[in-house]
């Protein structure tokens, strides 16, 4: 299991579009993937779960991946956050 | 360009348009080449520079009364000029009668004269509806067409994916079948109208059972002759890494003869009740049509929550002397 903490850097936070991108990216991998926000943990491959986090700009998230390709998954997901989901 | 003979037209519409043939049977051989009709008013006064010859010519009360005012020799030459333009046929409305000279001339020049008991307005409306249908662009595709809650849903996908089974399930749940396997799409009035590609009745092939007659089995109320297509659902085998729509904010369309139809790609896997999902997709579309979009609504609520949190954070940050941010602690 690998964990990584990350900051939401796009202004609008994790609304529909970034969430969809995040879920779509994570779904490509076989590892289980979870996101924690304020102690709440959701399945990172479920669009409903990710959107319900309503993670705002500047908030800290903990990404948790578990499986054979966990680091690849986290790398690509981290990249998405860093690129602000191509939004700002 | 499509065309039909006057005979085909006469035989098909005789009853609905209350038509009778005034001229001899041999006059029925000309071809109709236009989906429109023409009132030849001005042409009868001798002006033929602009004239839609390929169309059915309608003689209403205006034309008939005008012709009655003409001297015999003038009448003869005007009608001859008109027939020289190679008009397919003439239909007289309201059962009005024409001077006998016209009938003789029509027989000589092989132009059919039909008489209808309908009023001119009704006649023209009927004709346009019929001709539009006859001359419409059309194509036949491999699909199943069902009516779900009043929406025409075209089910597509590879052979054996379960289109017929899904349709059967929908019929069983109270919806109706338009056609299975072979569907003819017609482009009419900016819409796509689908109907069964064959006039054999509402049969279906269900694997393992064979042919079933849906009309006999479920009753006449569960079948439709034709239906405007509102939504296409493409059934496809579940693929691990394919991008299926997850939210419903982006709209994808399929195009048939220039008409854009919203399309849903629906992954099918064992144990999944496709017909229920088709029903849900139909209801969701009806809600969208009346102005409620669930995806937008949900996203709006999430954005509202995000905004609230951001505001709260800001207000905490600007309070003097509070280094200890309760939110960041989580």
Question: What are the domain boundaries of chain B?
Answer: 4-135, 137-289, 295-329
**Does residue B303 belong to the interface with chain A, where contact is any CB pair within 8 Å?**
yes
**Does residue A15 belong to the interface with chain B, where contact is any CB pair within 8 Å?**
yes
- Asked if residue B25 lies in contact with residue B107, where contact means CB atoms within 8 angstroms, the answer is no
Contact B241 A27 (CB under 8 A): yes
- Chain B residues inside the 8 Å CB shell of A60: 328, 330
Burial (CB < 10 A; 0-12, 13-18, 19+), residue A20, is buried
Contact B309 A59 (CB under 8 A): yes
CA distance B162 to B150: 22
CA angle at B256 for the pair B273 and B190, rounded to the nearest 5°: 110
B233 token code pair: 């659902």
**Does residue A6 belong to the interface with chain B, where contact is any CB pair within 8 Å?**
no
What CATH fold (topology level) applies to the domain B4-135? 3.40.1390
Shortest distance between the Cα of B268 and any Cα of chain A, in A, equals 18
Contact A16 B295 (CB under 8 A): yes
- pLDDT tens column, A63-81: 999 999 999 999 999 999 9
Which among B295, B302, B313 is the nearest to A54, CB-wise?
B302
* Cα–Cα separations (whole angstroms), residue B129 to B15, B123, B259: 15, 10, 20
Contact A51 B302 (CB under 8 A): yes
Residues 6+ apart with CB under 8 A from B321: none
**Does residue B247 belong to the interface with chain A, where contact is any CB pair within 8 Å?**
yes
Q: What is the mean pLDDT of chain A?
A: 93
**Does residue B330 belong to the interface with chain A, where contact is any CB pair within 8 Å?**
yes
Which are the catalytic amino acids of B?
142, 163, 181, 246
Max Cα separation, chain A? 33
CA angle at B130 for the pair B126 and B132, rounded to the nearest 5°: 120
Residues 6+ apart with CB under 8 A from B75: B67, B99, B101, B102
A50 token code pair: 């990710």
Question: DSSP letter at B180?
Answer: S
- State the pLDDT at residue B313: 79
Q: Mean per-residue pLDDT for A42-47?
A: 94
| Same fold yes or no, B4-135 and B137-289 | no
- Chain B residues inside the 8 Å CB shell of A38: 327, 330
CA angle at B5 for the pair B82 and B10, rounded to the nearest 5°: 90
* Cα–Cα separations (whole angstroms), residue A34 to A5, A21, B252: 12, 15, 30
What does DSSP say about strands B112-116 and B19-21: parallel, antiparallel, or unpaired?
A: antiparallel
pLDDT in 10s for each residue of chain B, 330 residues: 788 999 999 999 999 999 999 999 999 999 999 999 999 989 999 898 888 888 999 999 999 999 999 999 999 999 999 999 889 999 999 999 998 899 999 999 999 999 999 999 999 999 999 999 899 999 999 999 999 999 999 999 999 899 999 999 999 999 999 999 999 999 988 899 999 988 888 999 888 899 999 999 999 999 999 999 999 999 999 887 677 788 887 889 999 999 999 999 999 987 778 999 999 999 999 999 999 999 999 999 999 999 998 888 777 776 655 455 554 443
B186 token code pair: 């017609």
- Chain A residues inside the 8 Å CB shell of B330: 38-39, 60
- Asked if residue B265 lies in contact with residue B272, where contact means CB atoms within 8 angstroms, the answer is no
Shortest distance between the Cα of B306 and any Cα of chain A, in A, equals 5
Instruction: Give the chain A residue nearest B326 (alpha carbons).
Output: A38
Residue of A43, A56, A58, A60 to mutate, interface with B, max B Cβ within 10 Å: A56
CA distance B244 to B233: 13
Whether pLDDT at A38 is above 60: yes
CA distance B13 to B15: 5
- Inter-helix orientation angle B6-13/B120-135, to 10°: 120
- State the pLDDT at residue B312: 85
Residue of A12, A16, A43 to mutate, interface with B, max B Cβ within 10 Å: A16
CATH of domain A2-86: 3.30.1340.10
Burial (CB < 10 A; 0-12, 13-18, 19+), residue A25, is middle
- State the pLDDT at residue B319: 63
- Asked if residue A61 lies in contact with residue A23, where contact means CB atoms within 8 angstroms, the answer is no
CA angle at B212 for the pair B207 and B218, rounded to the nearest 5°: 125
Shortest distance between the Cα of B303 and any Cα of chain A, in A, equals 6
- State the pLDDT at residue A37: 92
CATH of domain B137-289: 3.40.50.300
- State the pLDDT at residue B329: 43
């Amino acid at each position: 299991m690998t964990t990584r903490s990350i900051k939401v850097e796009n202004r609008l936070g994790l609304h529909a579009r970034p969430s969809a991108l995040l879920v779509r990216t994570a779904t490509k991998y076989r590892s289980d993937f979870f996101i924690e926000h304020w102690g709440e943990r959701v399945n990172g491959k479920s669009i409903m779960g990710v959107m319900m986090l309503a993670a705002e700009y500047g908030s800290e998230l903990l990404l948790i991946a578990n499986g054979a390709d966990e680091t690849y998954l986290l790398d690509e997901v981290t990249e998405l956050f860093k690129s602000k989901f191509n939004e700002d | 360009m499509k065309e039909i003979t006057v005979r085909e037209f006469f035989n098909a519409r005789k009853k609905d348009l209350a038509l009778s043939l005034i001229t001899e049977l041999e006059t029925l051989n000309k071809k109709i080449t236009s989906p429109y009709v023409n009132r030849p008013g001005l042409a009868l006064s001798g002006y033929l520079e602009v004239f839609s010859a390929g169309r059915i010519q309608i003689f209403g009360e205006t034309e008939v009364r005008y012709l009655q005012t003409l001297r015999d020799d003038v009448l003869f030459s005007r009608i001859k000029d008109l027939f020289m333009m190679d008009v397919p046929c003439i239909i007289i409305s309201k059962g009005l009668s024409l001077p006998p000279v016209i009938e003789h001339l029509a027989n000589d020049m092989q132009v059919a004269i039909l008489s209808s008991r309908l009023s001119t307005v009704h006649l023209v409306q009927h004709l346009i509806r019929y001709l539009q249908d006859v001359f419409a662009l059309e194509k036949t595709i491999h699909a199943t067409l069902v009516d779900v809650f009043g929406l025409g849903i075209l089910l597509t996908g590879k052979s054996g994916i379960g289109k017929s089974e899904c349709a059967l399930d929908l019929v069983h749940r109270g919806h109706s079948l338009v056609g299975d396997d072979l569907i003819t799409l017609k482009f009419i009035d900016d819409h796509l109208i689908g109907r069964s590609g064959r006039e054999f009745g509402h049969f279906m092939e269900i694997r393992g059972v064979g042919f079933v007659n849906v009309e006999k089995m479920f009753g006449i109320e569960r079948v439709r002759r034709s239906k405007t297509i509102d939504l296409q659902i493409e059934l496809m085998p579940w693929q691990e890494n394919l991008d299926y729509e997850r939210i419903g904010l982006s709209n994808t369309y399929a195009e048939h003869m220039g008409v854009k139809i919203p399309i849903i790609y629906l992954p099918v896997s064992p144990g999944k009740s496709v017909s229920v999902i088709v029903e849900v997709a139909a209801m969701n579309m009806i809600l969208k049509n009346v102005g409620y979009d669930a995806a937008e609504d949900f996203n709006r609520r999430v954005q509202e929550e995000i905004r609230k949190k951001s505001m709260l954070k800001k207000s905490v940050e600007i309070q003097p002397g509070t280094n200890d941010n309760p939110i960041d602690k989580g």
